[in-house]
Amino acid sequence: METPLCFKGKMGTIYMMPSRYHGEKILPCQNLLKSTKLYARIFLLIHLNPTMRKEAAMFKILRVNMSDLSVKAEDIPKEYEGLGGRGMTSAIVANEVPPTCSAIGPNNKLVFAPGLLGGTNCANSGRISVGGKSPLTGTIKEANSGGQAGQYLAKLGIAAIVVEGFPQENRLYKLYVGKDKYELSPANDLKGLGNYATVEKLKAQFGEKVGFVSIGQAGEWKMAAASIAITDRELRPTRHAGRGGLGAVMGSKGLKAIVIDPSEGEMAPISDKDAFKEAAKRFVNALKEHPVTSQGLTNYGTDILINIINEAGGLPTRNFSSGRFEGAEKVAGETLNKITQERKGVVSHGCMAGCVIRCSGIFLDENGEYVSKWPEYETVWAWGPNCGIDDLDAIARIDRACDDYGLDTIEMGNAIAVAMEAGVKQFGDAAGAEELIAEVGSGTPLGRILGAGAAVVGKSFGVRRVPVVKNQALPAYDPRAIKGIGVTYATSTMGADHTSGYAVATNIMKVGGDVDPLKPEGQVELSRNLQIATAVIDTLGLCLFVAFPVMDMPDAFNAMVDMVNAKYGLSLTADDVTALGQRVLKLERDFNQRAGFTPADDRLPEFFKTEQLPPHNEVFDVPDDELDTLFNF
């Protein structure tokens, strides 16, 4: 592949690739956002390529019909070829799900898909995308997770599992997926069990050389905050497709669990093995060289962000009433590392095979007993600063409870913070927070309200400050102090979702450039470019954290594109990769528009525009008319 020219600008490093398609010597990638002709180039490259066609023939889509309990493997339709991960889930949902249907009704579908680089030895390529119409937001939804399921499905030659139809009432089923063997069977013996107990029962039946996907009680009860659990390397249900309530969709289908047996699977075919090996080596070297992916995340987990975001004045505290938390140090990644080492837990743990970043860990209690994996930054924030709690042990116990019941920790932490503002419990009451999450797990009337998410809690208790966009709660960055992420929250096709376009990287961490977090200028362009890039990363099945070296190191990006080309025998350029991300976003945006969403829904709640956030005393002031231009590409 040709080496790009690059230069530094106020938006960071801009890459310029020689373009075979446009016939020009060089063309800035960012200017290609207005080009639609590139779609034709991508489709020609894919549909006329014999290796891609061969792989499409080898890989199958698994159709699981819960109405007649049939399971059928089919060839990948032409319109889905060249897609994986989020690209695959969004294409299927956009094409096959009526946008105005009930999210927990018979016409919604639940899609599981590994990425385009799944089943290879590319580092950090085992992510899985889960898609459907969201019960929480009413929009299209993709929730992304680590764990072993993504790699296992890819090695079994499965491009997607599509769960459709509607089961007989009050009956649960489990799906077994092996090499050319697929079977639905009754699972009423798992009814009412949490994810940990569910996995233990399944292990007794299927052994420990498999992977499990499951829902807890929240999914069975179709709570809008329900997640889908995916087991890690130790067969613990600690990795979650958390956002948007897709666990409720799985529950509505009567599907309690999926058992994935990779025993007869094989590595995905590669067109040019030598070229792939060389590109994969360059890619892993970049991950090992970049300080964020080789030091910060590896030693302190994502929780390293607590002190960073607190110092920046953007750490939402006590239901987004302040940008700094006086107890931040007690729950920060440095403290998490210290406690873990003192208790002889595990620092630097990968949630899936092939992870070289290893941002997770194993958290033990004071007696050395296992509690949970390391809580993610967003989990620590949601139940820590956002609820005024500075107790890591309590936060870890709550994280374990959410994993067990099958709940999104971000949505639930916000729901509890809104309830605290209403006086249900007091800010800082860790024991009270644990009582409330137990209510959710018990399915009490109060628990059902809390499990419906922050927006419902706000309406139920008459709270004015409710931090949601399209009914989905905001994650751990206040948009008044980090305005780029505010643009992502407002405009994302998924509702408020930091992973859709992680502007924090450039606003705060100065990765990929430097855009002042307190000024509105440049934030829409930053978010737009990151949303396009993220759609690509999710489609490839890569961990989002690879974006740090990709944004800072030109050869990391080149290596990523080179791996795709080597795997499929393509000649995609950086320009084509940009167009792929655009295509995914256009599919999602079109679904939402057909579901009735308009630019008026791409807004933050009013209080972000009117209430100044200490310590900077800023409001969110990116103009609405600029927000409305984000998808103009």
Q: How many CB atoms lie within 10 A of CB 617?
A: 12
Of the CATH numbers 1.10.569.10, 1.10.238.10, 1.10.3720.10, 1.20.120.550, which one belongs to the domain with range 276-569+600-627? Answer: 1.10.569.10
Rounded to whole angstroms, how far apart are CA atoms 224 and 183?
A: 28
Average pLDDT, the chain: 92
Backbone angles phi, psi at 178, to 5 degrees: -125, -170
Q: Where are the beta strands (DSSP E) in 365-498?
A: 370-373, 468-469, 472-473
pLDDT in tens, 148-187: 999 999 999 999 999 999 998 789 999 999 999 999 999 9
pLDDT band at 616 (very low <50, low <70, confident <90, very high): very high
- Report the C-alpha gap between 153 and 149 in whole angstroms: 6
The pLDDT of residue 18 is above 50: no
Q: Is the pLDDT of residue 19 over 80?
A: no
Model confidence band, residue 25 (pLDDT cutoffs 50, 70, 90): very low
* pLDDT, tens digit, 9 for 90 and up, residues 140-155: 999 999 999 999 999 9
State the DSSP string of 59-81: SEEEEEETTTTEEEEEEPPGGGT
Q: If you average pLDDT over residues 72-96, what whole number do you get? A: 96
Report DSSP letters for 143-181, one per residue: EEE-SSHHHHHHHTTEEEEEEES-PPTT--EEEEEETTE
Confidence bin at 633 (pLDDT 50/70/90): confident
Q: Give the Cβ contact number of residue 536 at 10 Å.
A: 26
CATH architecture for residues 52-260: 4-Layer Sandwich (3.60)
Between the CA of residue 73 and those of 67, 178, 269, 395, what are the distances in Å? 17, 12, 19, 43
405-419: per-residue pLDDT in tens? 999 999 999 999 999
Quick: pLDDT tens for 518-547. 999 999 999 999 999 999 999 999 999 999
Look at residues 230, 137, 166 and name the one whose alpha carbon lies nearest to residue 494. Answer: 137
**What value, to the nearest 5°, has the Cα angle with vertex 631 and ends 467 and 110?**
65
Query: What's the average model confidence in pLDDT over 105-134?
Result: 97
Judged against a pLDDT cut of 60, whether residue 27 lies above it is answered with: no
pTM, two decimals, is 0.92
Structure tokens of 302? Answer: 């994502």
Q: Which two tokens stand for residue 336?
A: 């998490």
Least confident of 12-21, 114-123, 295-304, 529-538: 12-21
Say yes or no to pLDDT of 6 above 80: no
Q: Which two tokens stand for residue 445?
A: 């009337």
Cβ-proximal residues to 393 (8 Å cutoff; 6+ apart), any chain:
365, 366, 371
pLDDT for res 169: 79
Residue 4, pLDDT > 50, answer: no
**In the chain, where are the structural domains located?**
52-260, 276-569+600-627
The residues pairing with 211 across neighbouring beta strands, listed in sequence order, are 260
* Spatial distance between the Cα atoms of 42 and 584, rounded to a whole number of angstroms: 13
- Residue 292 is classified by DSSP as I
CA distance 183 to 179: 11
pLDDT, mean of residues 4-29: 30
Residue 11 has pLDDT above 50, yes or no: no
How far is the C-alpha of 530 from the C-alpha of 406, rounded, in Å? 29
Question: What residues contact residue 513 under an 8 Å CB cut-off, 6+ apart?
Answer: 8, 9, 10, 11, 12, 13, 506, 551
Would you give the DSSP letter of residue 499? Answer: G
* pLDDT, tens digit (0-9, with 9 covering 90-100), for 313-356: 999 999 999 999 999 999 999 999 999 999 999 999 999 999 99
